[in-house]
Structure 1
Amino acid sequence: MSVHWEKSQETEEQIHVLIVDSHRPFAEGTRALLSSEPRIVISGIAGDEDSCLNFLRHSVPDVVLLDFYLQDISGLDLMDKIKAAHPDVKAILMVEQSQEGYVLAASRKGAEGLLLKTCAVEELIQAVLSVSKGGVYFSPSPLTFSQVEIDFHDLHFPAKPAEVLKRLLTPREKEIMGLLTKPLHNREIAAVLGITARAAHLQVKIILLKFGINTRLEAVLSWAYVDE
């Protein structure tokens, strides 16, 4: 299920897109797919934070396609830097698997879209066209868009009842919270769960976003009320 809306149907002009992905073959493949749409122009490809920010010093695209898991920085953090310098740039995050936390984190951080890397070319093109016109495009979404918005507003409250915190987390995230209370560091959490340290870091970050807090200690203290 996809969630999208378009703000307007004004006269269409060419849309300039920057692709940021650590995996060069995927980036080149994405360039080839988007190039089939005459309204889209690929301005460039960047493989890491430095090359992305250097590119933006000389040319500002309309839309940036961002890998959620870059090698040197998370896509969320890089998106923050891009939007701080260029607020009008639209960002679409690309993920390898569908998780509610990705949608929630991306929407709260201000992304205009989120797509699976395995999405059809038609959907990829539609997402770029939609966000370039001021719309949003999240696909797939485990939640309806209204539910995402409700959770998003919930996160603005500094303190949440235990039942709200419990509702916000997936079973995997609850498992991670249990490991955080041990306490374990990201590499130790990664070893227990059989994932990379980078993936563990992003999972913890998503939990902090859901709780609306900034530190692991705050998360542990908040979880203590849930686990009673």
Structure 2
Amino acid sequence: MSMGNEKSENIKVLVVDDHTLFAEGTVSLLSSETNLEIVGIANDGNQCLTLLRSKTPDIILLDISLPDCSGINLIDDIKSINPKVKIIMLTGLNPKGYLTKSLQKDVHGFLLKECNKKEMIEAVFFVAQGKEYFSKGLAPFLKFAFVGSNGDKQALISQPIDIGELLSSREKEIMDLIVKGFNNQEISSTLDITIRTVKYHTSNILFKLSVKSRSKAVAVWTEMSMNEVERH
């Protein structure tokens, strides 16, 4: 593979954060990875939009709190300029109240600023592959993020319910394997069921947990499991 091809495959990242030390530290951290390329640092929303008109990042690390606007309110403007860009929200604040709004804007990840180097790099690569990433430190807040007003099923997530009654025994088996990172083929082989059956049960699991992706299902299931342990 030629150097030119390697360059074209780099994941381009734009950092949007008004805290200079954090932004520069993030750039230094990500620049140490050979497959990542930093295309710019923006200190506020206006700089972000200006850079977007001349750069084409694959991923934006977006601080939730900017001096001239809310990072959440900036998402629509970002998408209007570059609809394909993936956004990872950054927050050093208590994320309660921000998570719901961010998820409604269809962001691809959410990181607490105190996350370690390994987790930030992992998040960028996950999102670049079309997956979603939610910081491990978010578990205490996730129950607030997935509460909706569209019916009882979503409201269940915020309540200390018995998770044993929510999913069937087979669904729980599959959910436990999803949490471990198993794909459909691996789940099929492990449980000796067809891939079609795996997909059917997974669809039911997502519906019962009121989420649209496996990563969000893992986040909700982990939070519910933690609540269950605390209650007992």
User: When the two structures are superposed, what TM-score results if normalisation uses the length of structure 2?
Assistant: 0.58
Q: Distance in 2 between matches of 1:120 and 1:66?
A: 17
**Residue 56 of structure 2 corresponds to residue 60 of structure 1:** yes
- % identity of equivalent residues: 41
Q: Distance in 2 between matches of 1:56 and 1:98?
A: 28
Q: Distance in 2 between matches of 1:137 and 1:42?
A: 20
Q: RMSD between aligned alpha carbons?
A: 2.8
Which residue does 2:81 correspond to in 1?
A: 85
Q: Distance in 2 between matches of 1:29 and 1:68?
A: 18
Structure 1 spans left out of the alignment, 5+ residues: 1-11, 169-228
Which residue does 2:181 correspond to in 1?
A: none
Which residue does 1:141 correspond to in 2?
A: 138
> Could you tell me how far 1:144 is from its partner in structure 2?
9.2
> Could you tell me how far 1:119 is from its partner in structure 2?
0.7
Show CA shifts across 1:35-74 (max 9, x none): 1111111000011111111111111100000110001100
Show CA shifts across 1:64-116 (max 9, x none): 00110001100101112101221110001100034343322211111101101
Show CA shifts across 1:155-202 (max 9, x none): 4x3xx78xx5xx59xxxxxxxxxxxxxxxxxxxxxxxxxxxxxxxxxx
1:95 corresponds to which of 91, 100, 123: 91
Amino acid at match of 1:104: T
Amino acid at match of 1:91: I
Q: Distance in 2 between matches of 1:148 and 1:126?
A: 25
1:129 corresponds to which of 125, 129, 139: 125
Q: Distance in 1 between matches of 2:146 and 2:50?
A: 37
CA contact (8 A) 1:103 1:141 kept: no
Structure 2 spans left out of the alignment, 5+ residues: 1-7, 160-232
> SS at the partner of 1:134?
coil
Asked which structure has the greater CA Rg, the reply is 2
Q: How many residues align?
A: 149
CA contact (8 A) 2:87 2:107 kept: yes
Bigger helix share: 2
2:14 corresponds to which of 18, 22, 35: 18
Which residue does 1:29 correspond to in 2?
A: 25
Moved over 4 A (4+): 147-150
Structure scoring higher RCO (CA < 8 A, sep ≥ 6) equals 1
Q: Distance in 2 between matches of 1:109 and 1:143?
A: 21
